[in-house]
Structure 1
């Protein structure tokens, strides 16, 4: 059984507090985009096998897709094994939920493959044990995610919006970015409610102009190239640009495919991981 595991971007990422266990309390507007990994799973007699088209991606318990399969097997007492074939297209450690979306795909496919047929909510609870972005990746689309990522409210689809993504040639540790984040220094929070209301009205200009990610300053402070990428994207005619998640990927929204194409071509001269895609 084969499925597409879609990447996500953050239209807004707000940090509103911290729990006693150290986890940050978030309010995020998440959006799926048409950039995806392909996850294929088949039954085997026993164990978990993971194959990947990218040699630098671990194929053991360090991989979230592997962890998801193990968790699902243990939770629902499945004796049978699985072989997972992972075709990676989403860059790793990029702020695009590449690992989380693969894990979500594994949970969804195994749910069908073994006829367990648990509800979406139960799958989301299971996914939260793997990572804060996994519940959202199970649901997909346009959503407001709160708490540590487990409280989801589906929003009106913000689809068919053109964007260009640029990932500089390094990864970022989400854990390290949150560790360095200082909530007391935040002056302006994202306009989350206004953004939601303008997503409902499909007011593309407002949304693209008012995106905000509180983690941006942390990653930007360590990697000045993120500022340079944002400027380059904006100079190419983007309505607005922002870093996704904990970074380092930057994306810009465009109201015109020709401008987006020009931006893509310019950025491709400087960076390997450049994508032109749409919201879905």
Structure 2
């Protein structure tokens, strides 16, 4: 049996750091949406009791440092699976970009192995496994337009449809999420009104939505990589309805109500950065 799962990228319409927990983790409040830029995870049973990972992207570690490997290992251990699995990871989402590629790959692997090994895991069980891998994995298991809180494990699907073209620009450097979070000062970091953003989305009020979008991590990441600010400014100058960094960066996205406007931004940004994508919110 061969199982293929799609792993969509995500963007943060809002990301607020609400404080810090006693265990060192940060309290998050976020609104995320899935976009139609996808990796694909293909799993197939193999005779050896091993986890084999192959990818078409030579930047990916294919060992226990890979989130796909972690997902397979945790499931094998939890359910005492004594058969092996071969996993092919087709990468289309940029790596270390703030687009949740690794987390989405892990979520797709959990879904695929649940089917391959006929485990009948509940969504709560899958989320429990996913959260041990990364804070974005629980969201990626549900996807869509969602409100995320806690340390990332609390996911509330919003009964709303956000319709927009999205232009993604990924500069030619990556950002370590861990190091960004280490530099956060909860007393001075900029805040985002996630509740107002949620209300605007539920009311299908596009103008109010873009007015309340924001990312608490922008100041931290832009202080390290000022080029991100140049990308944002250029996108706005080209007519973007809003331009915002997603996650801990460095990818910046622009929202556009019309494809014509999105095409204009794409044409302008292609001479500025190599990795430019035009996609839709799913």
TM-score normalised to structure 2 length: 0.97
Does the 8 Å contact 1:136/1:152 carry over to 2?
A: yes
For 1:81-230, what aligned pairs fall within 5 Å after superposition? 81-186=84-189, 188-230=190-232
Q: How far 1:4 sits from its partner (Å)? A: 0.9
Range with bigger deviation, 257-266 or 132-141: 257-266
Aligned counterparts of 1:36 and 1:205: Cα–Cα separation in 2: 28
Aligned counterparts of 1:258 and 1:230: Cα–Cα separation in 2: 19
Aligned counterparts of 2:127 and 2:37: Cα–Cα separation in 1: 22
SS at match of 2:264: helix
Aligned counterparts of 2:97 and 2:7: Cα–Cα separation in 1: 15
The answer for unaligned runs of 5 or more in structure 2 is none
Q: How far 1:159 sits from its partner (Å)? A: 3.6
Aligned counterparts of 1:118 and 1:64: Cα–Cα separation in 2: 19
Q: How far 1:152 sits from its partner (Å)? A: 1.1
Range with bigger deviation, 189-198 or 80-89: 189-198
Does the 8 Å contact 2:33/2:143 carry over to 1?
A: yes
Does the 8 Å contact 1:94/1:172 carry over to 2?
A: yes
The answer for unaligned runs of 5 or more in structure 1 is none
Q: How far 1:207 sits from its partner (Å)? A: 1.3
> Aligned residue pairs: how many?
279
Q: Deviating runs (4+, > 6 A) in structure 1?
A: none
CA-to-partner distance for each residue in 1:63-104, whole Å, 9 max, x for gaps? 110111111111111111111101101011111111000000
Report the aligned-residue RMSD.
Answer: 1.0
Q: How far 1:256 sits from its partner (Å)? A: 1.1
Q: How far 1:270 sits from its partner (Å)? A: 2.1
Does the 8 Å contact 2:200/2:208 carry over to 1?
A: yes
Alignment counterpart, residue 38 of structure 1, candidates 31, 37, 40 = 40
Does the 8 Å contact 1:96/1:245 carry over to 2?
A: yes
For 1:233-272, what aligned pairs fall within 5 Å after superposition? 233-272=235-274
Aligned counterparts of 2:12 and 2:202: Cα–Cα separation in 1: 16
For 1:42-53, what aligned pairs fall within 5 Å after superposition? 42-45=44-47, 46-53=49-56
CA-to-partner distance for each residue in 1:9-38, whole Å, 9 max, x for gaps? 111111111112110011011111111101
CA-to-partner distance for each residue in 1:78-136, whole Å, 9 max, x for gaps? 11111110110101111111100000000011001111011111100110000100000
